[in-house]
Amino acid sequence: MDELMLMDRSRVLHEALEQCGWENPEEVIQRVNRLDLGLPAEDEFAVICSWLGKCSLVHKLDQQQIPKSSRETYQVPDLLAVFNTDNNQYKVLIEVKTKQDKNLTLRARDREKLIKYGELLGIPILFAWKRHSIWTLFDISLFEKFNKNYRVNFFSALSNSLMSLLAGDMNYQLGDGVGLYLKFKKDEMHDSDESVETWKTRIEDVYLRDFNGEKQYKFSPKTLSILNTCEIEENTEVDDEYISQSFVVRPDMGNMAHRAMEKLLKMTDADTNIHWRSLLVDESPLHSIADFQSALDEALKQKFVKYILIQHPKKYPDFIKDDDKAQGIK
The tens digit of pLDDT for each residue in 275-320 reads 787 787 778 778 767 788 888 999 999 999 999 999 999 999 999 9
Q: Are 161 and 136 in contact (CB under 8 A)?
A: yes
Listed range (74-83, 117-126, 245-254, 285-294) with the worst mean pLDDT: 285-294
Query: Structure pTM?
Result: 0.84
The pLDDT tens digits of the residues spanning 154-205 come to 999 999 999 999 999 999 999 999 999 999 988 877 667 767 777 788 899 9
φ/ψ of residue 243, rounded to 5: -120, 120
Instruction: Strand 215-216: give its sheet, edge to edge.
Output: 215-216, 197-209, 179-192, 242-249, 232-238
Question: Would you place residue 121 in the very low, low, confident or very high pLDDT band (cuts 50, 70, 90)?
Answer: very high
Cis preceding-peptide flag for 285 (omega within 30 of 0): no
pLDDT in tens, 71-106: 999 999 999 999 999 999 999 999 999 999 999 999
Q: Which CATH fold topology does 37-169 show?
A: Trna Endonuclease; Chain: A, domain 1 (3.40.1350)
Q: Report phi then psi at 297, rounded to 5.
A: -60, -40
Residue 172: strand, helix, or coil: strand
Q: Where are the domains of the chain?
A: 37-169, 175-310
